[in-house]
Amino acid sequence: MLFFKNKIRLRFAPSPTGFLHLGSLRAALFTYLLAKSRKGRFILRIEDTDQKREVSGATDNLIKVLRTVGLEFDEGPHCGGKYGPYIQTGRLGIYKQQADRLLQTGQAYRCFCSPERLTKMRAAQEADKQPPRYDRLCRELSVAESDRRAAAGDSFVIRQKMPTNGEVTVFDELRGNIKFSAADLDDQVLMKSDGIPTYQLANVIDDHLMKISHVTRGDEWLPSFPKNILLYRAFAWTAPKFIHLPLILNKEGGKLSKRQGDVFVEDYLAKGYLPEALINFSALLGWHPKNDKEIWSLKELKKEFSLSGLGASPAIFDAEKLDYYNGYYIRQKSLSALADLCRPYLEAAGRPVKEKDKLEKYVSLAQDRMKKLIDIVELTDFIFALPDYNSELLGWKTLTPESAKNNLQILKTELEKITAEKWNKDYLEKTVLAWIKNRQEKNGDHLWPMRVALTGLKNSPGPFETAAALGREESLKRIAKAIKI
Ligand code: GLU
C-alpha cells in the first residue's frame, strides 16, 4: 500500500488559449515521462481563470492532440479522478475558502485601493524610474477597519504580505539554490475583486490539494518561483519539488515564434509529421541521454527518461532535425501503412486513389524522399499529370535527343511484348536489362530516355518502379509521346 501512497504525481497545467505550442508539447511530454519513468500519475489541470484569453474548444483540442501523439492522462476534466474538479473555474469556492484562511492568519490583507489610485501611483513610480509595485497603503489598515469596509460592500482585492527585507532562497531541481531579494517582491494580488484568483494563488492551492509531487513548468515562470514558495509558507504547506524546464530557442537564439515557421503541433500534424517523430524530436529538446542514441520510441523514453539527463541551458529548435526524424519514421512504415497515411493528402489535392495496390505503388516511388506526408502530393505529381518537357531532356551524356528517341522506339516494341499481367517492377527490370545486355549497349542509353519519357523530370524515381506504378497502358502512351516530342 505504501508503494501506491508514494506514487509521484505530476501535472500539465495549460491555459486553454488556443492551439498547442511546441513548447507546451515539450512540457507535457517531459511531465508525462518523468511521471511514467517512476510509475507515477500524469494529471491534466485546466488553468482557465483568465477568461478573456480563453478559446472555446481549446481543452478538447489539447486532449485530442496529446492523445494523437500518445500521451494519455490518468486524471483530468475528461476522465475524472480523486482530486477534481480539474478545471480551475470549477474550484472558485476552494480558492475563496483558502484566501479567507490567509486573511485570518494575517498572511494576506484586503486592498481597497481604486484602479484610479493605482494608475496614478504607477505613473508616479514610472516618472521616478521606480519599478512598478503596490505601495502597501492598505497593509496598514486594522483588521476591524478592513472587516467593516468589506461588510459595507466596498470592492477589494486580496494581496499577499511579502517580507520587506532579507532573502528568499528557493531550490530548483535543475539549477540548485536560487536567491531572490525580498525587497524586489511586490505584495501580489492573490484574489481579484470579482472573486477570481490569480495564477499564483490558484496554482499553489491546486498543486497542494491535488498532491502534486513535482511541478514541471517552463522557466519563464522562474520570477514567480519565490512568490510561490512564500505562499506555500504562508499556508504552512510543504512545497512540491520544482523543475523549471529550459527555454526552447530558434537557431538564431531568439524566441520560437510564428514568424520563423510553424509553432503549433496541430500545424505539424496537418502537414504529416508523425507522432513518433514529434515525440522523439521533442524529447531531445533539453534532455540529454547518457548514450548518444538518437532514435527513441515513447516506450523506451518511458523507461529511460530521467531528471539527471535534464539541463538548465536552452534547447535549440532545429526544424531540419525534425524533418530528419520524420523522414526516418516515414521510411520505417510498411507500404500499406504509409499508403493509408498518405491517402487523405492525395484526396485533399483532388487525386483520390481507390485501389490500395495502386496507391502503394505510388507511395513506394516517394517513400525514400518524403520528409512529411504532404510531400506525397508533390512527389507523385508527375503520375497524375506528365509535366511538359523539352526533347533535350531525353539526351544523356553523348546520346543525342534524336538517338534517344530511336532507342525509345525499339524499347517500346520490346515493352509491348510484355503483357499487363507481367507488368511489374521485377519482371520489367529483368527483361529490359537482359535485352540491353543482349544488344551490348549501355544501360543509360535506354534507361535514361525511358525514365524521362515516363516522368518528364530530370530527377525522379527509377524507370522500372515508375513504369510499374503507371501501368502498361499509360507507360506505353508516355513513351509514344516522347518519341513524337
Ligand atoms: N497555466 C500556466 C501556463 O499555461 C501553467 C504554468 C504551470 O505549469 O504552473 O503556462
pLDDT in tens, 105-164: 999 999 999 999 999 999 999 999 999 999 999 999 999 999 999 999 999 999 999 999
Per DSSP, the three-state class of 435 is helix
The contacts of residue 451 (CB under 8 Å, 6+ apart) are 460, 462, 463, 466
Distance 80 CA to ligand 1 centre (A): 20
pLDDT score, position 440: 97
Model confidence at 5, pLDDT cuts 50, 70, 90, reads low
> What is the arithmetic mean of pLDDT over 376-382?
97
pLDDT at 55: 86
Question: Model confidence at 3, in pLDDT bands (50, 70, 90)?
Answer: very low
Q: Which residues contact 354 (CB under 8 A, 6 or more apart)?
A: none
Q: Which residues of 367-399 are buried (b: 16+ CB within 10 A; e: fewer)?
A: beebbbbbbbbebbbbbeebeebebebbbbeeb
- What are the distances in angstroms from CA 121 to CA 113, 132, 139? 10, 8, 16
For a mutational test of ligand 1's pocket, the pick from 25, 45, 203, 232, i.e. the residue with the most ligand atoms closer than 8 A to its C-beta, is: 203
pLDDT of residue 54: 81
Q: Is the pLDDT confidence value at 438 over 80?
A: yes
Question: What gap in Å lies between CA 341 and CA 332, rounded to an integer?
Answer: 13
- Specify the pLDDT at position 30: 98
Q: Which atom of ligand 1 lies at the shortest distance from residue 17's CA?
A: 4
Under CATH, which architecture does the 265-382 domain have?
Orthogonal Bundle (1.10)
Confidence label for 39 from pLDDT (cuts 50, 70 and 90): very high
Q: Among 221, 227, 242, which residue has the most ligand 1 atoms within 8 Å of its CB, making it the best to mutate?
A: 221
Same fold, 90-245 and 265-382: no
Distance from the alpha carbon of residue 107 to the mean position of ligand 1, in angstroms: 24
Does residue 85 have a cis bond before it (omega within 30 degrees)?
A: yes
Average pLDDT over residues 33-51: 96
Average pLDDT over residues 314-319: 95
Residue 4 has pLDDT above 70, yes or no: no
Q: Indicate if ligand 1 lies below 6 Å from the C-beta of 62.
A: no
Quote the distance between the C-alpha of residue 238 and its chain's center: 33
- pLDDT for 345 equals 98
Nearest CA, atom 5, ligand 1: 13
The arrangement of secondary structure in 386-484, i.e. its CATH architecture, is: Orthogonal Bundle (1.10)
Instruction: Give me the count of residues in the chain.
Output: 485
User: Which is nearest to 379 in space by CA: 397, 364, 398?
Assistant: 364
Q: Tell me, what's the pLDDT at 128? A: 95
- What pLDDT sits at residue 258? 78
pLDDT at 281 over 70: yes
By CB atoms closer than 10 A (0-12, 13-18, 19+), residue 301 is buried
Which residue would you say has higher pLDDT here, 53 or 85? 85
- Residue boundaries of the structural domains of the chain: 90-245, 265-382, 386-484
Q: Which of 16, 19, 42 is nearest to 29 (CA)?
A: 42
Distant-in-sequence, close-in-space partners of 382: CB < 8 Å, separation ≥ 6 = 455, 456, 457, 460
Say yes or no to pLDDT of 455 above 50.
yes
Tell me what the mean pLDDT of segment 324-331 comes to.
98
Residue 442 has pLDDT above 80, yes or no: yes
Mean pLDDT for all residues in the chain? 96
Selecting among 39, 258, 293, 303, the annotated active-site residue is: 258
* Superfamily name and number for 90-245: HUPs (3.40.50.620)
> How far is the C-alpha of 369 from the C-alpha of 376, rounded, in Å?
9
Mutation to probe ligand 1, out of 9, 15, 86 (largest number of atoms < 8 A from CB):
15
Taking residues 265-280, what's their average pLDDT? 98
What pLDDT is recorded for position 186? 96
Q: How many angstroms is it from 308 CA to the middle of ligand 1?
A: 23
Q: 43 C-alpha vs ligand 1 centroid, how far in Å?
A: 13
pLDDT at 68: 98
Q: Is 258 a catalytic residue?
A: yes
Q: Within the chain, what is the greatest distance between any pair of CA atoms?
A: 109
CA distance 74 to 59: 16
Ligand 1 atom nearest the C-alpha of 221 is 6
Whether pLDDT at 391 is above 70: yes
Q: Is the CB–ligand 1 distance for residue 243 below 6 Å?
A: no
CB of 47 sitting under 6 A from ligand 1: yes
Atom of ligand 1 nearest to the CA of 11: 8
What's the confidence (pLDDT) of residue 276? 98
Measured from the CB, is residue 217 less than 6 Å from ligand 1?
yes
* Ligand 1 center–CA 244 separation, angstroms: 11
- When pLDDT is averaged across residues 377-384 and rounded to a whole number, the result is 97
The average pLDDT across 270-280 equals 98
With a 6 A CB cut-off, is 244 part of the ligand 1 pocket?
Answer: no
Could you tell me if the CB of 228 is within 6 A of ligand 1? Answer: no
Query: For residue 88, how far is its CA from the centre of ligand 1 (angstroms)?
Result: 12
- Report the pLDDT value the prediction gives residue 24, as an integer from 0 to 100: 97
Note the pLDDT tens digit of each residue in 199-208.
999 999 999 9
For residue 20, report the distance from its CA to the centre of ligand 1, in Å: 13
Which percentage of the chain shows pLDDT scores above 90?
94
Nearest protein Cα to ligand 1, atom 10 = 14
For the CA of 207, the closest atom of ligand 1 is 9
- Round the CA-based radius of gyration of the chain to a whole number and report it: 32
Are the beta carbons of 460 and 387 closer than 8 angstroms? Answer: no
Mean pLDDT, to the nearest integer, of 428-455?
98
Q: How far is the CA of 171 from the centre of ligand 1 (A)?
A: 19
14 CA: nearest ligand 1 atom:
4
At 2, the pLDDT band (50, 70, 90 cuts) reads very low
Residue in the block written with cell 521606480: 130
